[in-house]
Structure 1
């Protein structure tokens, strides 16, 4: 399907966005992957420094693990007609420094979601599966409907069947979550095979 003029204009506006520049450690560089033909949406957190440098999402160990969870090749993953990748914050937010040492990335910039997210999703009309990565994405996609009873990552992931087959929540694939994965072996034993089968089914029909 040829992209609409509205979609192309929206994409151009997002690419040029610098509303958060004063709070960013580096020049604004929105990093998303979108096409109106996309079948699977990956709702992440925010680009890391490697994604910023490469100009593409998940160019790091997190991306390697995520592609393994999905059972897809790098070529498939970076095909915008298959996967839309829309983080909660579009630019690298900076690094947390504690006691002089790096301690992960800062939270996603808060302006992206209210300014761009809903308008963008209205243009992604063919999404069959939304993959929700990490607490910030869970808060937006699931907890906005929960009221006071907000879900933790563990609750959202372990109760995955409540949102299936339209959506699934996953822990962020960062190596920082290795401890979580060791504590919850049932995730990779039970959830990941179902996820891979679903992704395979969607991409087979797409192909």
Structure 2
């Protein structure tokens, strides 16, 4: 690994929402706080929750595919390390008995949890088929602005459903 391992997770057995994304980025590595970057701002907006709610571990748990920053690649961060999820995810999930909704963000998490039978776009477009337990999302990175622009149905059709399910999982509906 290019840096010392520094697992960046947010866990509490009371959490009702779990976020599974790729791996922490450099900003998260430096701050030791997950989603502390523009991607996190966009994700919180998509979810329709405040920063305070997002970082309240008793409401939102965060468990990336790779727990540590994997380093920089040619066109962005490297993929999450492959040994991390098989080693730690089942053990971690067993400690989260109250999760009602899992946001599965990006292609690595979706391939691991939802399989490779369809594309990320197809999974996101048919998010309702994975409910009530899972909700596939594209990565909220600014690098995905082109994907978002090409798929206006995401904001129009998917985000209202996401926000309603987030509120329901938090017990606000």
TM-score bucket of the superposed structures, by smaller chain: over 0.9
SS in 1 for 2:170: helix
Per the normalisation by structure 2, the TM-score is: 0.96
The match for 1:80 among 52, 57, 67 is 57
Per the normalisation by structure 1, the TM-score is: 0.81
How big is the shift at 1:205?
Answer: 4.7
Distance (Å, rounded) in 2 between the aligned partners of 1:165 and 1:154: 19
The structure with the largest alpha-carbon Rg is 1
SS in 2 for 1:123: coil
Q: Does 1:127 align with 2:99?
A: yes
The match for 1:176 among 143, 147, 150 is 143
In the other structure, the counterpart of 2:125 is: 158
- Which 5+ residue runs of structure 1 have no aligned equivalent? 1-23, 98-102, 144-148
1:132-176 per-residue CA deviation (whole Å, 9 max, x = no partner) reads: 000000011100xxxxx6222111101111101211100000011
In the other structure, the counterpart of 2:157 is: 190
- Which 5+ residue runs of structure 2 have no aligned equivalent? none
In the other structure, the counterpart of 1:92 is: 69
Distance (Å, rounded) in 1 between the aligned partners of 2:164 and 2:4: 40
Aligned-residue CA RMSD (Å) = 1.2
How big is the shift at 1:203?
Answer: 2.0
Distance (Å, rounded) in 2 between the aligned partners of 1:187 and 1:63: 18
How big is the shift at 1:198?
Answer: 1.6
Which segment is superposed worse, 195-204 or 39-48?
Answer: 195-204
Q: Which runs of 4+ in 1 moved over 4 A?
A: none
In the other structure, the counterpart of 1:115 is: 87
1:91-131 per-residue CA deviation (whole Å, 9 max, x = no partner) reads: 0000013xxxxx21000011111111011111111110010
Bigger RCO of structures 1 and 2 (CA < 8 A, at least 6 apart) = 2
Distance (Å, rounded) in 2 between the aligned partners of 1:200 and 1:162: 19
